[in-house]
Amino acid sequence: MKTIEVDGIKVRIQIWDTAGQERYQTITKQYYRRAQGIFLVYDISSERSYQHIVKWASDVDEYAPDGVQKILIGNKADEEHKRQVPKEQGLQLAKEYGMDFYETSACSNLNIKESFTRLTELVLQAHRKELDELRGLPRAPTLARLEEDEQQPLGSEDTPKTCWC
Ligand SMILES: Nc1nc2c(ncn2[C@@H]2O[C@H](COP(=O)(O)OP(=O)(O)OP(=O)(O)O)[C@@H](O)[C@H]2O)c(=O)[nH]1
């Protein structure tokens, strides 16, 4: 669990690190179902791990909810001397998938906060409606509500509204 602040809102996020090994796949797939945001992570010093992203992405498509937010991560950016995956290759794949992309290092703390903040931002944006309601902002008018308002007698607009629910 971690609390981070995004756009002035304190958000408590629950982070799950799923096991990468094949033998745990039946269990890990079950965690996708309730995920709101997913990092697809490869190791920049391993072309093989990069190749595996295609499989992770297809598992996510199959098992995660439709509106799940995804970000591609090339980790171990501190291991420049062992690099097998050029940054452009990561960027290209992220572009194909329509995802944001970060190179990170858990060792040197590169882009860790940035990537978590960005994924949280994307999740919040995807839940903008619920968020506005939490903040007490009026919802965008729907056609049904506009019609309802039109039927109100003149002057009734002044009636104070404390809640849109
Ligand atoms: N140099 C470097 N090593 C890292 C970095 N992140 C993780 N490691 C090392 O990589 C190894 C694997 O890290 P894990 O966190 O177990 O990786 P994982 O993908 O969760 O592994 P699975 O649980 O098998 O899926 C460990 O030895 C870590 O110390 C990084 O940013 N830089």
> pLDDT tens digit string along 95-119?
999 999 999 999 999 999 999 999 9
Closest CA to 35 of 85, 79, 5, 71: 71
Q: Is the C-beta atom of 21 inside 6 A of ligand 1?
A: yes
Phi, then psi, of 108 in degrees rounded to 5 = -100, 5
Q: At 137, is the pLDDT very low, low, confident or very high (cuts 50, 70, 90)?
A: low
Q: At 164, is the pLDDT very low, low, confident or very high (cuts 50, 70, 90)?
A: very low
Cα–Cα distance, 137 to 93 (Å, whole number): 38
Q: How far is the CA of 149 from the centre of ligand 1 (A)?
A: 57
Distance of CA 9 to the CA centre of its chain: 16
Q: Is the C-beta atom of 75 inside 6 A of ligand 1?
A: yes
Q: How far is the CA of 16 from the centre of ligand 1 (A)?
A: 15
| Residue type present at position 37 | G
> What is the DSSP code (8-state) at residue 31?
H
pTM: 0.82
Q: Is the C-beta atom of 70 inside 6 A of ligand 1?
A: no
